[in-house]
Amino acid sequence: MHPRTVGEIVKENLVRLRKGRGVLARDLESRVRPEFAELFGATTDTGSVLRQKVIGYLEELMVALPTQWRRAARCGLNLPPSTDGETLQQRLSVLAAEFFCDERTARRRMDEAFLQMAGNADRGQVPMPGVGHGGIGWYVDIFDAVLRLDTANPEAIERRTIVATAGSLDRIETSIDVPRHPSNHSTRVELTREMMFGGVVAGTGMGSSTNFSTEIILPRTLRRGERHTYGLIARIPPGQEMVNRYVYVPYRQCRYFTLLVRFPPNNVPQRIWRHEGVPHSAVHDEPKPGSELEPNLANEVSAQFRDLINGCAYGIQWR
């Protein structure tokens, strides 16, 4: 039995969400399945925060829909501002009158709209070709990174959920750039990589003197639209200093990126700030107003980014 695709997860949850008061239902938390919440970074959210994220994600899925399908979807899900009725039956009656059809046909229009939304989800809301540095046929749906600076040597725990856009996908190539520290004028930059789960390292290489690539064989061949999650740990070796930032510059479509940086309790920087969709050269500038972050009691800061632009920088820097 194959794992479900993004589209299948979305379609099932759209049907669950349209019952009763739709997205305005009081029991929204029980209707949103964990695998659906993961698609828009809401696995731990509740109440109004969850509702806002659900509505935002559904709005994204409807962007490219034709007018009639978009209207059918909004009516069925009871998206605000809504005056179409407190029950699905009431909303079907409103839609049928508006479309000059019977309620059975109105429901079919809703189902057609949901299928289109599910198709958009399979492609990452907008058609994503899966083209990028390291080969074609996949894109990054969710990239979750934890940078630990409180260990003997800095390590980045990276968890990526990818989606296949090719007919079949059995291996991928990913890479990470390790900028040379200003104090390092001659020593070669090094990086070690360890596969945590979700694949087997088939080979490693270097795209430049500071770029490290990893070829990963997937546990099984993915078909178009299927998701797969893998984890990789990247470590700076002993004696090698790390620059004062973790910045992700995507060269492949990435829908959602979240980053947490944990500092040692005896060495928390005085200034910490985020970069969002800026040229990479911005790492040499002063922080922009409103970009600074405050560490919590665990000496951690975090940032989330959505719909990343290829070639732009996203991440956290400190001083």
What are the tens digits of pLDDT across the range 290-310? 999 999 999 999 999 988 999
Share of residues in the chain with pLDDT > 90 (%) = 72
Share of residues in the chain with pLDDT > 70 (%) = 96
Per-residue model confidence as pLDDT tens digits over 266-279: 999 999 999 999 99
The pLDDT of residue 191 is 95
Provide the Cα torsion 306, 63, 166, 41; round to 10°.
30
- Which positions ≥6 away from 145 have C-beta within 8 Å? 156, 157, 158, 159, 246, 248, 257, 258, 259, 260
Answer yes or no: is pLDDT of 130 > 70: no
Confidence of residue 36 (pLDDT cuts 50, 70, 90): very high
The pLDDT of residue 214 is 95
The pLDDT of residue 87 is 95
Answer yes or no: is pLDDT of 81 > 90: no
Task: Say how far apart CA 218 and CA 178 lie, in whole Å.
Answer: 25
Mean pLDDT along residues 160-187: 88
Mean pLDDT along residues 57-80: 87
Confidence of residue 236 (pLDDT cuts 50, 70, 90): very high
For 193, phi then psi, to 5°, come to: -130, 140
Per-residue model confidence as pLDDT tens digits over 203-228: 999 888 889 999 999 999 998 778 89
The pLDDT of residue 218 is 97
The pLDDT of residue 124 is 61
Walk across the sheet containing 211-223 and list its strands.
168-177, 211-223, 200-206
Burial of 183 (0-12, 13-18, 19+ CB in 10 A): exposed
Answer yes or no: is pLDDT of 145 > 50: yes
For 179, phi then psi, to 5°, come to: -60, 145
- In the numeric block, which tokens belong to residue 301? 């800061």
Answer yes or no: is pLDDT of 125 > 60: no
The pLDDT of residue 127 is 44
Q: Which residue in this structure is represented by tokens 């940032």?
A: 303
Lowest average pLDDT, out of 65-79, 130-144, 167-181, 241-255, goes to 130-144
Answer yes or no: is pLDDT of 23 > 60: yes
Task: Say how far apart CA 255 and CA 257 lie, in whole Å.
Answer: 7
Q: How far is CA 304 from the centre of its chain?
A: 9
Task: Say how far apart CA 54 and CA 77 lie, in whole Å.
Answer: 11
The pLDDT of residue 1 is 54
Confidence of residue 16 (pLDDT cuts 50, 70, 90): very high
Mean pLDDT along residues 233-259: 94
Nearest partner of 77 among 110, 105, 108, judged by Cα: 110
Lowest average pLDDT, out of 48-52, 62-66, 81-85, 178-182, goes to 62-66
In 10 A of CB 182, how many CB atoms? 9
Q: What is the mean pLDDT of the chain?
A: 91
Q: How far is CA 125 from the centre of its chain?
A: 12
